[in-house]
Amino acid sequence: MKRSITMLSYEVSPSLVIYIVIQIIYAISSAVYFAFLCVETVLHNGKAYNAYFLFGSGTIVTVLLELIPVAVLFLSIDRCLCIRRPAMKDEKSKLVYFNCIAIIVTALVIVFADIISSVPTNATTTCSAFACLSTQLGKGVYGMVRMVLGIINVIMCIVLAVMIRRKLALPALAAKTNTVVLKTVLITLLFDFLPHFAAFILATAINKDVTQNYGPLSGLVSAVDNCLCA
């Protein structure tokens, strides 16, 4: 029995796999997105961009930016379950199911609330970021989803840190995995949640989106987060 529990703790977590896959897809899509912006800026001196390519590449990045906090949340929950009940395989299977459902629901909310209303009507635009194409409603939903997920992740980060501190007797690999996950959550909070939260508070205070004139801020901040987590 003891050996089976130890072996279970060594298994690769499905939640971790989901998180890694989302991060890899985001890394590739954001590279294409930023490469396009650089090329267009050089060719047209930052005065005009291909609206359809900006929308297409920006859509993928925008959706993935909302899915990363969801993946981080379930990664934290997975680690908490591994510490609390390492042998409960049924609970982990249910967690994967709810993880997939949460990802699908979040993606659909962003698509219907933000993406569809951002479809360009002209081939060219002066917008230098996807956010510039979005409506106020779309930006509001995007920001609200990030804030809610960010706050929940803050709570889960605290819970996970407390559980790791109290659970002293853990296999070396399990302890290392928990530490890596905790660091990942902290990096996500510092380089993803806090910058967006600060921008949201500032925009609410002065009733103006101060980031729209500074390029794809959300994508840049999240790219730093992606790099550090990798």
CATH class of this structure's domain 2-229: mainly alpha
So where are the chain's domains?
2-229
What does the alpha-carbon distance between residue 230 and residue 225 come to, in Å, rounded to a whole number?
Answer: 9
The better pLDDT of the pair 4, 98 is held by: 98
Which two tokens mark 36?
Answer: 């396009």
Instruction: List pLDDT tens digits, range 177-216.
Output: 666 666 777 777 776 667 667 766 766 676 665 555 444 5
pTM score: 0.76
Amino acid at site 66: E
For all residues of the chain together, what is the average pLDDT?
Answer: 76
How far is residue 203 from each of residues 43, 108, 143, measured CA to CA in Å?
32, 25, 11
Which two tokens mark 78?
Answer: 């997975």
Q: For residue 75, give the nearest of 156, 1, 135 by alpha carbon.
A: 156
What does the alpha-carbon distance between residue 161 and residue 166 come to, in Å, rounded to a whole number?
Answer: 9
Which two tokens mark 92?
Answer: 């982990």
- CB atoms near residue 79 (< 10 Å): 27
Query: Burial level of 131, CB count in 10 A (0-12/13-18/19+)?
Result: buried
pLDDT band at 221 (very low <50, low <70, confident <90, very high): low
